[in-house]
């Protein structure tokens, strides 16, 4: 007997993209991130000296999964309040308690994860 394992839907957010315009961005649920994506985001955070407790880590996640220029431009214009709200909703929709939304490999921030592989 085989068990069916369901897929998952990305979580969508409509964010400002100019005067009276919105753009839809997406991100997978917290517990549906591939290790290669987490590693790529952690490597970028280290490169930019962004700590895991910084609200800017949310921006890195959004930029990683939304790669059109229009989406990147809109994400880069988000303010702290908007990023915190996205993180709150992302945690809620992922059924993850607030404060535990950002995945960790368990590697201390001073160390670099071994064998990083870029996202495909």
Other CB atoms within 10 A of residue 32 CB: 14
Per-residue pLDDT for the chain (120 aa), expressed as one digit of tens each?
999 998 899 999 999 998 999 999 999 999 999 999 999 999 999 999 998 888 999 999 999 999 999 999 999 999 999 999 999 999 999 987 655 555 554 444 444 333 333 443
Q: Does residue 59 lie in a domain region?
A: yes
**DSSP code for 28:** -
Q: Does residue 8 lie in a domain region?
A: no
Q: Does residue 40 lie in a domain region?
A: yes
Tell me what pLDDT residue 88 has. Answer: 94
Domain extent for 47 = 34-101
Q: Does residue 74 lie in a domain region?
A: yes
What's the pTM? 0.76
Tell me what pLDDT residue 96 has. Answer: 72
Tell me what pLDDT residue 103 has. Answer: 52
Is residue 58 within 8 A of residue 86, CB to CB? The reply is: yes
User: Encoding tokens for residue 15?
Assistant: 């964010």
Q: Tell me how many degrees the CA angle 32-7-69 measures, rounded to the nearest 5.
A: 60
**DSSP code for 21:** -
Q: Does residue 93 lie in a domain region?
A: yes
Q: Does residue 6 lie in a domain region?
A: no
**In the chain, how many domains are there?**
1
Tell me what pLDDT residue 34 has. Answer: 95
Q: Does residue 115 lie in a domain region?
A: no
Tell me what pLDDT residue 7 has. Answer: 87
Tell me what pLDDT residue 57 has. Answer: 95
Q: Does residue 19 lie in a domain region?
A: no
Tell me what pLDDT residue 52 has. Answer: 82
């Amino acid at each position: 007997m085989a068990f069916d394992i369901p897929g998952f839907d990305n979580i969508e957010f409509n964010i400002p993209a100019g005067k009276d315009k919105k753009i839809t961005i997406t991100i997978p649920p917290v517990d549906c991130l591939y290790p290669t994506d987490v590693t790529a985001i952690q490597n970028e955070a280290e490169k930019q000296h962004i700590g895991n407790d910084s609200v800017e880590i949310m921006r890195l996640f959004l930029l990683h999964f939304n790669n059109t220029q229009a989406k990147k431009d809109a994400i880069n214009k988000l303010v702290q309040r908007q990023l915190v709200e996205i993180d709150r909703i992302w945690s809620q929709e992922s059924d993850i308690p607030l404060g535990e939304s950002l995945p960790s490999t368990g590697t201390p921030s001073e160390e670099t994860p071994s064998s990083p592989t870029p996202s495909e």
